[in-house]
Amino acid sequence: METERNEVHFFLEKLGELISETFGENCEVVISDLDRPEAAILYIFNGHVTNRKVGDPLLPVARERLQNQADGFYVNYNGIKNGREVKSSSLNFELEGHHYSLCINYDYSALVPAQRLLSQLTDVWQGGAQQGGVISAADSAIEEAILRCGKPTRLMTKEDRLGIVTQLNEQGVFKIQRSVITTAQRLGISRFTVYNYLNEINGSKNKNA
């Protein structure tokens, strides 16, 4: 049993190292043992992003997210850590009877000025309306659906997210280009999960019919 666990840890360590090496020094990868929240971090690469180290406890916000996240993962949530703009994704999973999480924190602070400059350069106006207004309409519908739910996205259950996707589907939002990706980003899930929700919704409709 101990040998199997060592093999799991070896795999997770190499996986974390691979991801951090691929995306560079701004990409922090954290492997945590969720069964030991008081000393959760097993491996961490590029720990300077959040100033953490091996043996550090699970952060309170991570514990809260662990209790409330849907489908075992939470994608592209953001926040400011140590004055840095950081976007994160986390995955909770079970291997050989133990519970782990893999978290990726990417410091994109250096890209923010470039993003603003590109936005200024690419904004164009046609006939008195800014190009991209159709996407803005989709954004507005997504925001309204989230507000109606009455919960912050980090506290939403699968049922909450499914309800939002159902509402947006009934409004025809997903006929708009890139609306699935936008919805996934705002709900903190993957676009594949959105497609799974849509399949579930359509399956229920066909069954009722």
Contact 141, 172 (CB under 8 A): no
Residue 18 has pLDDT above 90, yes or no: yes
- Among 1-10, 43-52, 168-177, the minimum mean pLDDT is found in 1-10
With pLDDT > 90 as the criterion, what percentage of the chain qualifies?
Answer: 39
More confident residue, 129 or 198: 198
158-170 vs 191-208: helix crossing angle, rounded to 10? 70
Residue 50 has pLDDT above 80, yes or no: yes
What secondary structure, in 3-state letters, does 155-174 show?
A: HCCHHHHHHHHHHHHHCCHH
> Other CB atoms closer than 10 Å to residue 190's CB: what's the count?
18
DSSP 108: -
| pLDDT tens string 61-79 | 777 666 655 556 777 777 6
Q: What is the pLDDT of residue 85?
A: 85
Contact 84, 110 (CB under 8 A): no
Q: Tell me which CATH code domain 2-110 carries.
A: 3.30.450.20
Q: Could you tell me the residue ranges of all domains in the chain? A: 2-110, 126-208
Q: What is the pLDDT of residue 130?
A: 46
3-state SS, residue 121: helix
41 class by beta-carbon count within 10 Å (0-12 exposed, 13-18 middle, 19+ buried): buried
| pLDDT tens string 142-156 | 988 988 888 888 788
For 171, the token pair is: 């409004």
179-187 vs 158-170: helix crossing angle, rounded to 10? 150
What pTM was computed for the model? 0.64
Whole-number CA gyration radius for the chain: 20
- Among 46-50, 86-90, 122-126, 150-154, the minimum mean pLDDT is found in 122-126
For the chain, give the mean pLDDT: 83
Residues 6+ apart with CB under 8 A from 37: 57, 58, 63
| pLDDT tens string 157-194 | 889 999 999 999 999 999 888 899 989 988 888 889 99
Q: What is the pLDDT of residue 56?
A: 96
In angstroms, the Cα distances linking 15 to 44, 150, 160 are: 11, 37, 32
Q: How many residues does the chain have?
A: 209
Residues 6+ apart with CB under 8 A from 38: 57, 58
pLDDT-derived band at 136 (thresholds 50, 70, 90) equals low
